[in-house]
Structure 1
Amino acid sequence: MAAEALRTLLGRVRYEVLPARATEAKVLAHVPRDIVVTVTASPVKGLEPTLALTERLAAHGYRVVPHLPARLLRDDAHLKDVAERLRATGIDDLFVPAGDADPPAGPYEGALPVLRRLAELGSPFEELGITGYPESHPVIHDDITVQSMWDKRAHATYIVSNLCFDPRVLGDWITRIRRRAITLPVYVGVAGPVQRAKLLAMATKIGVGESTRFLTRHPAWFLRLAAPGGYAPERLLTRGAQALTGPSAGVAGLHLFTFNQLAETERWRRALLDRLGG
């Protein structure tokens, strides 16, 4: 039963990509059209690379979910313009985190005011995603992150959990939010099969400022991903199978952090599906 449930989750995946120069070509070469692609946004480069890549991938027939960090929005007019541009592209799903821009580009310091403003604009998107934190946020207390999901639940339609490497922690977090009557479906954030050398090269290409920000906020992530032999996504999924696949968990699928290693991620997914099928 657990194997079949994991097969189902692996069939409902979202691939998170960074809007780099080669991303479009990598998606076209390695990602099937039935896989949802989510596009991150950079506090250094702003929203334009995210919006442009979203438009191009949508034109290729992908279902694309752009990230719209609240702290990158300059004002209400900017939010309205972005929403109209995305809707004109056919986008009906938007992921709204707070973002890391410090200071914020405008009046929005968190996701909730953006979600409320989108409702005032007539709820232009059918699906709206928010962030969950199974492992503690670097600067926000766990109780506050859970309360934040409760506050946003009326506006959002699903939760994407941030990276977690401990199946016990992940299971406890799912139980905790369900006890708080947070019933939104969850896409569990899982790092793909990251190659250490490519991860280090990618961090360099992102840029010194953003790499430093990433490492400062998530040093444990980087160490666990970069350690030779230190991380395998199938171990996390297998050990956490009971927590992820139980009927009360409400897990809708997996959100795979690919770090733009798309060929490796899709090859791993297909190989694991084959093994589970056997």
Structure 2
Amino acid sequence: MRRAPSTERARQARPAAGLPELLRQVRYEVLPARSTEEKVLGHVGTDVTVTVTASPVKGLEPTLDLATRLAGHGYRVVPHIPARLIVDESHLAEVTGRLVAAGVEDVFVPAGDADPPAGKYAGALPVLQRLGELESPFARVGITGYPESHPRIDDDVTVQSMWDKRAHATYIVSNLCFDPKVLGGWVRRVRRRQITLPLHVGVAGPVERTKLLSMATKIGVGESARFLARHTSWFLRFAAPGGYSPERLLTGTASVLTDPEASVAGLHLFTFNQIAETERWRRRMLERLGPG
């Protein structure tokens, strides 16, 4: 029996109805530049979680400094603690103590890009294990997922890595993806592997191409910018008419992202420090979508 047109339209609209909640449960990834604190204070409410990247060129200090200051302003802050920037156990204990003293309760632990590593850690798992030995000082610990293929690591390895780290983490943040089919397929694949950690889906915000290109070519400004720099073909998606749009990515994957079995906790927006523009876009999206 053929479904009535009105019923079909209602069926198709239901997944998008869940997007407002994901847009409210949002995290903004920012780069620790000189103007970042002012931009966050000027445009982002303290109800939005702010994550702060780390650079193998500049080291952890700018990340720790900005995270501490933003926490002092009342923000929920998530500093990135790349394993390859940690020298040894005493360095990790020092970083941990500093963040705990600042009231930080959440950290994101990727492997990082420093080559060679600053010390003994080449990957995230040993750092996660060491945090457990330090009596798990953070209530929440995030790890990385890769919907798009990692430039240096096989897809099966990245999924296996999430499995290996799941006991030491509380959530996953997916890296950038521009293809709804790839993103949706990856979420399903992760869940089929019985990786059940809540997922924050990484989405590039409404980034203006020339600003993004300028940011990505400044080596050392952040892991997300360098990741984009390795995928120069992606810039064509920003430049071409009808190219990348965060709205299209979200609506194209709405049925997956809003499925309760996907356990998507919210969106992780890569701002590339276009913070005001990202917040305006989010608020416009919420207005268009309605209460959800």
Q: If the length of structure 2 is used for normalisation, what is the TM-score? A: 0.91
Which residue identity does 2:199 align to in structure 1? V
Which residue identity does 1:63 align to in structure 2? R
Q: Does 1:258 align with 2:271?
A: yes
State the Cα deviation string for residues 113-146 of structure 1 (Å, max 9, x = none): 0000000011000100000001111111100000
Unaligned runs of 5+ in 2: 1-13
Q: Is the 8 A contact 2:28 2:270 kept in 1?
A: yes
Q: Does 1:101 align with 2:119?
A: no
Alignment of 1:118-133 (within 5 A): 118-133=131-146
Q: CA deviation at 1:207?
A: 6.1
Q: Is the 8 A contact 1:196 1:228 kept in 2?
A: no
Instruction: Tell me what 1:178 maps to.
Output: 191
Q: CA deviation at 1:197?
A: 2.2
Q: Is the 8 A contact 1:196 1:227 kept in 2?
A: no
Whichever of the two has the greater Rg, that structure is 2
Q: Does 1:38 align with 2:48?
A: no
Q: If the length of structure 1 is used for normalisation, what is the TM-score? A: 0.95
Q: Does 1:268 align with 2:281?
A: yes
Partners of 2:203 and 2:114 lie apart in 1 by 24
Q: CA deviation at 1:205?
A: 4.9
Alignment of 1:1-278 (within 5 A): 1-205=14-218, 214=227, 217-227=230-240, 229-277=242-290
Partners of 2:178 and 2:226 lie apart in 1 by 20
Instruction: Tell me what 2:7 maps to.
Output: none
Change (3 A) 1:227 1:113: farther
Q: Is the 8 A contact 1:46 1:72 kept in 2?
A: yes
State the Cα deviation string for residues 64-84 of structure 1 (Å, max 9, x = none): 000000000111110000000
Q: CA deviation at 1:225?
A: 3.5
Which residue identity does 1:127 align to in structure 2? R
Partners of 1:118 and 1:131 lie apart in 2 by 17
Which residue identity does 1:16 align to in structure 2? E
Q: CA deviation at 1:174?
A: 0.8
Q: CA deviation at 1:220?
A: 3.5
Identity level (%): 74
Q: List structure 1 runs of 4+ shifted beyond 3 angstroms.
A: 203-216, 220-223, 225-229
What is the aligned-residue RMSD (CA, Å)?
Answer: 2.0
Q: Is the 8 A contact 2:209 2:235 kept in 1?
A: no
Change (3 A) 1:228 1:201: farther
Partners of 1:169 and 1:23 lie apart in 2 by 32
Q: Is the 8 A contact 1:199 1:226 kept in 2?
A: no
* Secondary structure, aligned partner of 1:189: strand
Partners of 2:270 and 2:228 lie apart in 1 by 16
Aligned residues, how many? 278
Instruction: Tell me what 2:11 maps to.
Output: none
